[in-house]
Chain A
Amino acid sequence: MARPKIPRKSTSVDMTAMCDVAFLLLSFFILTTKFKPSEAVTVETPNSVASKIAPEKDVVMVTLNKDGKVFLSTGDNSSDKLKKKEIIESVNASRNLGLSENDINALVRAPFIGVPLEQLNQQARLQTDQMNDKTLPGIPCKDTTNNQMVDWMRAVSDVYQGTKVNLLLKGDNLAKYPSFKNVLTAFKKNKLFKFQMVTNPESVPQGSDLWKKNISGKGAEE
């Protein structure tokens, strides 16, 4: 019996379409990606069901690492940097630190402030890559007698007087409660009663009251 002849087909596939798709996706990811800013202070934030995206303007961020060290930073945009300069100048004036103009500018460029007030001029001379949570001692706020966060927060509230400030607190999972409490004390002493805590998003457990609320449509927590 004669077999029907099967015409031999070429096995090479036209890759053009696939190539198009690949590069379309590639351009999408390139455009949407936002590199994590290299963080000198490593902080693992806890999860919460809060759905509001952390603000990026007019930000004053207090970072609390797992050893309880406290760091202060502001947003990256130019207006926030200006405010940072004002904050540093204000602290400089109120505590008679005698920082030079150069020192202040160096501190403004630094990603965060993480030394006691007396050592600010030393931090000003450090290179940015030398600043991390291991080399710097953090802003002291352990005890009530020398809570320098209070000074910083006073400067913050002075500089942002009348305008809205987004006070963010970014704490590590393992940070102990007392250090958190000390930061809170510093906030309270300066009548900064509203602040936000940076967290990772988490889904709302099914069946909980908040879940029901979100489902029913009137959701959207304040």
Chain B
Amino acid sequence: MAEMDTSGGGGHKKGPGVKKGKKMSTRVDLTPMVDLGFLLITFFIFTTTMSQPTAMKLNLPDDSATPEEQNKAKESGAFTILLGKDNNVFYYEGMLAPDGANFKSSNFKDIRNELIRKKQNTDTADLVVVIKPTDQSNYKNVIDILDEMSINVIKRYALVDISPVEDQLVRLSQGEAASPPAAAPPAGGN
């Protein structure tokens, strides 16, 4: 392929006085070129961004609707998730018991099982997951929990502000549990 036919046109004989040109090989060593090629390939492979960012849809509720219109969640179908600091997750089913008896602690791995269990035990029409992030939770936690909703195909969920009682309870349980030695560095908060 890389050679060329250099033997002049057929059997044409040169005269006795004509000097015969030295036949040079036209074969080129392609190894450096291949090297260069692969070097560039590696470069482009590393710089290319194959994964396009995806977008996750979120529809917000209209706050101007009156509370009577909004809260139609059945108590039996309600499942409230509270997001604390350091990726702590708390949850309770139905209404929060006055003494906080049904207030349970969990984490991002186990919450999926709880959601699956709740989903199986509840009528689909009644199931509402209420997500209440505290001020100490971060954006990732919120996205992760919203992601759990789509992973578990939960159609009805709401992002709601936390109530003071619940906030207090979360703070208390985080203080008592003496959260694991601050694994996550304190994010530059305000």
Residues of A within 8 A of B (CB): 12, 14-19, 22-23, 25-26, 29-30, 32-36, 45-55, 64, 66-68, 142, 168, 171-181, 184, 187-188, 191, 193-202, 204-205, 208-211, 213, 221-222
Contact A177 B138 (CB under 8 A): yes
CA distance A55 to B57 in the complex (A): 12
Contact A176 B138 (CB under 8 A): yes
> A64's closest neighbor in chain B, by CB?
B139
Residues of B within 8 A of A68 (CB): 189-190
Q: A176-B139, A209-B153 are in contact. Are A54 and B55 (CB under 8 A)?
A: yes
CA distance A187 to B58 in the complex (A): 12
CA distance A54 to B54 in the complex (A): 5
CA distance A219 to B2 in the complex (A): 52
- The count of A-to-B residue pairs whose CB atoms sit within 8 angstroms is 192
Quote the shortest CB–CB distance from A149 to chain B (angstroms). Answer: 14
Q: Does B121 contact A (CB under 8 A)?
A: no
Q: B155-178 interface mask toward A, CB cutoff 8 Å, 1 = contact, 0 = none?
A: 000010100000000000000000
> A174's closest neighbor in chain B, by CB?
B187
Quote the shortest CB–CB distance from B134 to chain A (angstroms). Answer: 7
Q: A194-B59, A197-B55 are in contact. Are A49 and B38 (CB under 8 A)?
A: no
Contact A53 B187 (CB under 8 A): no
Contact B139 A171 (CB under 8 A): yes
Contact B188 A174 (CB under 8 A): yes
CA distance A221 to B55 in the complex (A): 12
Interface of B is mostly: mixed
- Tell me the chain B residues, 106-154 only, with Cβ under 8 Å from chain A: 112, 116, 119, 133-144, 146-147, 150-153
- B contact residues, range: 35 or more
Contact B147 A176 (CB under 8 A): no
Contact A66 B55 (CB under 8 A): no
Q: Does B100 contact A (CB under 8 A)?
A: no
Instruction: Provide a sorted-by-A list of 8 A–B residue pairs whose CB atoms are within 8 angstroms.
Output: A19-B37, A45-B53, A48-B146, A171-B139, A181-B133, A181-B161, A199-B55, A208-B152
Q: Does B7 contact A (CB under 8 A)?
A: no
Contact A222 B139 (CB under 8 A): no
Residues of A within 8 A of B2 (CB): 14, 16
Residues of A within 8 A of B147 (CB): 47-50, 202
CA distance A124 to B136 in the complex (A): 35
Quote the shortest CB–CB distance from A143 to chain B (angstroms). Answer: 11
Please give 8 more A-B residue pairs, beta carbons under 8 A apart, in addition to A181-B161, A196-B57, A199-B54.
A19-B37, A52-B54, A54-B53, A67-B188, A168-B55, A174-B138, A175-B139, A208-B152
Q: Does B18 contact A (CB under 8 A)?
A: no
CA distance A23 to B40 in the complex (A): 9
Q: B19-46 interface mask toward A, CB cutoff 8 Å, 1 = contact, 0 = none?
A: 0000000000111011001101100110
Contact B53 A173 (CB under 8 A): no
Contact B55 A176 (CB under 8 A): no
Q: Which one of B49, B57, B141, B161 has the greatest number of beta carbons of chain A within 10 Å?
A: B57
Quote the shortest CB–CB distance from B110 to chain A (angstroms). Answer: 13
